[in-house]
Amino acid sequence: MPPQEPAPAANGAAPAPAPAAAAAAAGGKRRKRGRWAAAAGVGALLVALLAVAVSSRSFPAASSSSRGGDCGCPGTRKYTGMVEDCCCDYETVDAINEEVLHPILQELVTLPFFRYFKVKLWCDCPFWPDDGMCRLRDCSVCECPENEFPEPFKKPYSGLSPDSMICQEGKPQATVDRTLDAKVFKGWIETDNPWTYDDETDNAEMTYVNLQLNPERYTGYTGDSARRIWDSVYKENCPKYPSEEMCQEKKALYKLISGLHSSISVHIAYDYLLDESANLWGHNLPLLYDRVLKYPERVQNLYFTYLFVLRAVTKAADYLEQAEYNTGNPEEDLKTQSLVKQLLYNPKLRSACPLPFDEAKLWQGENGPELKQEIQKQFRNISAIMDCVGCEKCRLWGKLQVLGLGTALKILFSVDGENHLNQSLQLQRNEVIALVNLLNRLSESVNFVHEKGPSIEDVIKQQSSSTVKPVFPI
């Protein structure tokens, strides 16, 4: 599969595909009948896809009757068998995701500990002159007062004027704390991640953002600036080599980035501005098909990335279980600890997919150490490119998800030996927040693709033998 081009911005907008013109009607005496047949075909397609598009606006768990291989029509699944280079099959991933992981993650990321992410949003692009930030309203991240933060996350209360209680955009969107104390969170330390660009230490420029009030969605960020981001990611740091030239490690890096890219595209399509004048948001199913579903490898890479990150979370289970999730709210903190344990030690997950990905098979050749350093450098460059994203919300989610992926790489490949992981692994609080939020993003994407993919593709198959080219409603 060639790089996913033309690419949407990191968590920004991809242009909606333009409707195709109806095919020419049959000639001669059958021309009028052909026109009626074409119109009927388009009408049927519009009705079918609109019925899918107006379904639930949330990421609901699918019913048990549509689970795994018994989704109503046994044997009709497009994706079946083992996920390539992983240790779990598609049927199991879908079943475990909707029964166990998706519900737990959806609740976990709303709790105070995982709700706030520390990020530097205003930074210079280290690779090319700044294009300027996107000026669209939906690109901006509103910085609101600090009084919403859990006590352990913020500096001592210094008093706020009534005016400062109102967000810039007139709605609560994201709370911010620009001062950090390395000792404010007992048990967590600041430590370098060899996989990510280390520019997050200037605490005076850091802010906390409420992720729940800044969802990953369409922002209108597109054009040359957005395309340059993905061009740089793929062509310069994560190229798709011919299969005979692609070692397992470089293949894994490409699939991780492709899977992340697919997930970003899914979220843009899921929460899309359908009608700007009416401020109408909903599913853009044509975009979902055009950017992801039309390319099986992109769906496969989405599942690969999900299992890779899941493996990192389960490998660090002992560490994450013992971590301190203190926000100053005992009830919420106990709930967080309980959900983390449910995520890490769920018996259904452990029995159905005990080893989502086997990292031990990588870096085994004599050039393993050199190859590891090369790929670390490539991923660090990718993380640095997130500073070049010209949309504030897109930059926020790009930096969070790349940090989450870098944390997964750190867990799987920066520590030698399964038995000594808990003693030698050190994670920042922000890394854990990014890791869990990334896993939730991927879980949402897998769930949405599993739910909507078959219905969209069925409509397309029904039209495949027709003279009418599918026309998608926006």
**Nearest-CA neighbor of 66 among 98, 38, 44, 89?**
98
Q: Are 85 and 251 in contact (CB under 8 A)?
A: yes
Residue type, 222: T
| Inter-CA distances, 449 with 47, 57, 128, 409, Å | 20, 14, 35, 25
291 labeled part of a ligand binding site: yes
Residues 370-403: b if buried by 16+ CB within 10 A, e if exposed: ebbeebbebbbbbbbbbbbbbbbbbbbbbbbbbb
Q: What are phi and psi of 149, to 5 degrees?
A: -70, 150
Q: Are 253 and 301 in contact (CB under 8 A)?
A: no
219 labeled part of a ligand binding site: yes
**Nearest-CA neighbor of 299 among 161, 452, 96, 179?**
452
Q: Are 453 and 71 in contact (CB under 8 A)?
A: no
Q: Give yes or no for a cis peptide into 6 (omega within 30° of 0).
A: yes
For residue 340 the two structure tokens come to 């983390």
Q: What are phi and psi of 234, to 5 degrees?
A: -80, -55
Q: How far apart are CA 81 and CA 297, in angstroms?
A: 14
DSSP 374-416: HHHHHHHHHHHHGGG-SSHHHHHHHHHHHHHHHHHHHHHHSS-
CB burial of residue 16 (10 Å; 0-12, 13-18, 19+): middle
258 labeled part of a ligand binding site: yes
For 196, the 3-state DSSP assignment is coil
For residue 52 the two structure tokens come to 């899918």
Positions marked catalytic? 391, 394
Q: Are 379 and 253 in contact (CB under 8 A)?
A: yes
For the chain, report the end-to-end CA distance as a whole number of angstroms.
Answer: 26
Q: Are 182 and 201 in contact (CB under 8 A)?
A: no
**Nearest-CA neighbor of 450 among 286, 293, 281?**
293
Binding-site residue set for FAD? 217, 219, 230, 258, 261, 291
Binding-site residue set? 217, 219, 230, 258, 261, 291
